[in-house]
Amino acid sequence: MTFHDYQLTQIDILESESIHIIREVTAELERPALLFSGGKDSIVMLRLAEKAFWPAPIPFPVMHVDTGHNFPEVLDFRDRRVAELGVNLVVASVQDAIDRGVVREEPNGSRNRIQTPVLLEAVEKNRFTALFGGARRDEEKARAKERVFSFRDEFGQWDPKDQRPELWNLYNGRIHLGESIRIFPLSNWTELDVWQYIARERIEVPSIYYAHEREVFSRDGMLFANNEFCRPRDGEDTFIGKVRYRTVGDATLTAAVGSDADTIEKIIEEVAATRLTERGATRGDDRVSEAAMEDRKKEGYF
């Protein structure tokens, strides 16, 4: 027998912890679903779910809250991945909710805030009791304080002052009828961990994460693509830039960064060296106020 120090790398430990969390939810909560947007974090989460139940299929559906403001590459990717895994896809459409008069378009055209009632409606309709989300604690300071099992009342609201203590690897998933739990299996992952895992597992991600040429314009210090969702205003000149996306959200809000990183190795190098957080660099939605994320979470947002 060879000497063995029984050491695991930090990526192995993170993977194991996440798989433990996913299995625990499935064992204890009746109707979970996994939020899948086609973004890198939800892609990693879906991969972890696949591993958690292998060789059995993933025992819960995936759900996409579709703002209608999508990057076509990401939507294609979503459909392909869902077909590969043979999981059910539930789409909660913001456009459909607007057409039905459930929510109203906001004056600035962003659908970030109005997607929350659409999400909550879909949860109620499908009677989901637990929703997996790909949020990470390193993303944002309100998220740094949120539990892995985040209890939500019957209105989907988060109460940061009344969270359940989480000790060891013991999670409390007990709820009353109408309440639910948001589950964050990637809580302890950083942006760099996510990319290192994508590299290690050779996971495919949508092409817009890699550097490519795109017609963009500059606004508030961010680079926005010139497309049907986002047009330059007077004085904003478009140009062809080499860019990539660090996050993928509502296309009206998500900006690109100037980048030459067209391979996964280059992305890892870039992420390790960057001096800006991914949300600070690319998300208009978090710039509203110091507590923008906290406020949205209290309303039932992820």
**Residue from 207, 281, 288, 299 binding another protein (CB under 8 A):** 281
**Do 203 and 47 contact (CB within 8 A), yes or no?**
yes
The secondary element (H helix, E strand) that includes residue 109 is none
Give the other-Cβ count within 10 Å of 157's Cβ: 14
Q: By CB under 8 A, which span of 75-83, 232-240, 243-251, 267-275 interacts with another protein? A: 267-275
Q: By CB under 8 A, which span of 93-101, 115-123, 163-171, 227-235 interacts with another protein? A: 163-171
50 touches another protein by CB under 8 A = yes
Residue with smaller CB distance to another protein, 66 or 140:
140
**Residue from 32, 35, 120, 138 binding another protein (CB under 8 A):** 138
Residue with smaller CB distance to another protein, 16 or 88:
16
199 touches another protein by CB under 8 A = yes
88 touches another protein by CB under 8 A = no
Query: Token digits for 33?
Result: 């679903």
For the segment 206-235, give every residue that binds another protein (CB under 8 A): none
**Do 155 and 124 contact (CB within 8 A), yes or no?**
no
250 touches another protein by CB under 8 A = no
The alpha-helical segments, DSSP class H, found in the chain are: 10-28, 40-53, 72-85, 94-99, 115-126, 191-201, 264-273, 278-282, 292-298
12 touches another protein by CB under 8 A = yes
Query: Token digits for 153?
Result: 């009342």
